[in-house]
């Protein structure tokens, strides 16, 4: 069952025996919520529920106790709330879901190295750094602004949209590149996929863990190392490292120490995430189906999280029977 949670909605108090996860709009958090949810449902014997929410309303829901867990808190993207929430003590981090999630400006690897299997020659063999982009703008020519190259941006409304505009200015690339707004995450992914399938050059902002990165070989262009002062002034450096935490309501964690300990051991890799998202994209699987695929594919991984042999056996039995969350 999925419930929508919005700012201004009446508080929804989850039942004591039910564990409620907050879903955000991106696929990976919904997959992780259901991986953890499956383990909690069939291993720890608690029903699970999923509330959809925008970032801040969802986090406030966990803080109030309307919900209990979200498997992805991008703490650096909501820094002020996170700092205040830690001082209040109503929520707690149970550790990092996965290590630093890279983001930056990417091109298909075949642009630089070619692809013998596809008979593609390298068209920009010396393209390694963002500072190399001016000499290659014609490769990425914008059909709407043919005197410039096209650099796909994050959609308007995303914080990174403005950051990338600052970067374009900092690197003095406005003369040779146009920042193109794709309109949505789906359109951005489709633009990259379309170019890749045709073997064409494309330059785009993107990030990992995503289906695109799991399916295609992409190379992130180098930037000067991250520097806090530079980042806060011109942005003329690499993106800062991003912590992606598992967040829980503090009272819930105290009341359910076995689940809290399991979640503290929960950790995945960028590669595992990219492959799961690629599986979902390629097969048309739901987030629940993808979560079950993950549990079947990476059984040794989740068993390390759980550790208790009796609980592991319950989960294995559920998977063998084809039990689902839907």
Beta carbons of 220 and 106 less than 8 angstroms apart = yes
Q: What is the mean pLDDT of residues 44-54?
A: 95
Q: Distance (Å, rounded) from C-alpha 268 to C-alpha 24?
A: 19
Choose which CATH entry (3.40.190.100, 3.30.160.60, 1.20.140.10, 3.40.50.2000) describes domain 103-233. 3.40.190.100
Do the domains 103-233 and 2-99+242-321 match in fold? yes
Q: Given pLDDT bands bounded at 50, 70 and 90, which one contains residue 75?
A: confident
Beta carbons of 205 and 180 less than 8 angstroms apart = no
Q: Which of 190, 180, 29 minimizes the C-alpha distance to 105?
A: 180
Q: Which of 326 and 172 is assigned the larger pLDDT?
A: 172
pTM of the predicted structure, to 2 decimals: 0.75
Domain positions in the chain are 2-99+242-321, 103-233
Q: Each residue of 79-103: pLDDT tens digit?
A: 889 999 999 999 999 999 987 778 9
Q: Which of 274 and 31 is assigned the larger pLDDT?
A: 31
* Alpha helices per DSSP H over the chain: 27-43, 55-64, 79-88, 109-113, 159-170, 185-198, 211-215, 228-233, 250-255, 257-265, 270-283, 287-297, 299-306, 309-321
**Least confidently predicted of 35-49, 66-80, 126-140, 194-208:** 66-80
* Architecture category of domain 2-99+242-321 in CATH: 3-Layer(aba) Sandwich (3.40)
Q: Examine the pLDDT at 66 and tell me if it is beyond 80.
A: yes
DSSP state of 156: B
DSSP state of 285: -
Q: Cα torsion for 254, 53, 183, 208, to the nearest 10°?
A: 20
Q: What is the mean pLDDT of residues 97-110?
A: 90
Q: Each residue of 141-190: pLDDT tens digit?
A: 999 999 999 999 999 988 899 999 999 999 999 999 999 999 998 899 99
Place of tokens 């890749």: 196
Q: What percent of the chain is predicted at pLDDT more than 90? A: 81
Q: Which of 282, 312, 326 minimizes the C-alpha distance to 42?
A: 312
Alpha-carbon distance values, 239 to 97, 102, 271, 318 (Å): 19, 8, 20, 42
SS3 222: strand
Q: Distance (Å, rounded) from C-alpha 320 to C-alpha 316?
A: 6
Q: Each residue of 3-24: pLDDT tens digit?
A: 444 444 434 343 457 999 999 9
53: how many CB neighbours lie within 10 A of its CB? 24
Q: Each residue of 129-144: pLDDT tens digit?
A: 999 999 999 999 999 9
Q: What is the mean pLDDT of residues 67-73?
A: 97
């Amino acid at each position: 069952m999925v419930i929508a949670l919005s700012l201004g909605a009446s508080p929804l108090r989850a039942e004591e025996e039910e564990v409620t996860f907050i879903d955000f709009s991106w696929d990976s958090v919904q997959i992780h919520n259901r991986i953890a949810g499956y383990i909690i449902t069939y291993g720890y014997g608690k029903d699970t529920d999923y509330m959809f929410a925008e970032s801040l309303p969802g986090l406030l829901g966990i803080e109030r106790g309307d919900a209990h867990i979200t498997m992805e808190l991008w703490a650096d993207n909501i820094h002020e709330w996170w700092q205040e929430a830690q001082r209040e003590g109503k929520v707690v981090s149970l550790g990092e879901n996965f290590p630093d999630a890279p983001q930056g400006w990417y091109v298909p690897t075949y642009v630089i190295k070619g692809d013998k299997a596809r008979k593609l020659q390298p068209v920009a063999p010396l393209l390694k750094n963002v500072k190399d982009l001016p000499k290659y703008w014609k490769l990425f020519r914008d059909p709407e602004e043919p005197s410039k190259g096209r650099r796909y941006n994050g959609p308007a409304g995303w914080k990174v949209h403005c950051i990338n505009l600052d970067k374009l200015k900092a690197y003095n690339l406005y003369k040779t590149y146009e920042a193109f707004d794709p309109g949505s995450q789906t359109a951005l992914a489709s633009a990259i996929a379309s170019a890749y399938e045709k073997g064409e050059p494309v330059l785009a902002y993107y990030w990992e863990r995503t289906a695109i990165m799991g399916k295609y070989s992409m190379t992130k262009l180098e930037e000067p190392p991250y520097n806090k002062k530079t980042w806060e002034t011109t942005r003329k450096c690499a993106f800062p490292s991003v912590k992606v935490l598992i967040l829980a309501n503090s009272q819930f964690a105290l009341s359910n120490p076995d689940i809290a300990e399991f979640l503290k051991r929960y950790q995945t890799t960028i590669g595992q995430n990219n492959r799961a998202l690629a599986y979902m994209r390629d097969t048309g699987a739901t987030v629940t189906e993808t979560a079950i695929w993950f549990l079947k594919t990476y059984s040794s991984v989740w068993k390390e999280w759980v550790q208790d042999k009796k609980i592991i056996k319950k989960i294995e039995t559920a998977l063998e029977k084809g039990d689902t969350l839907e």
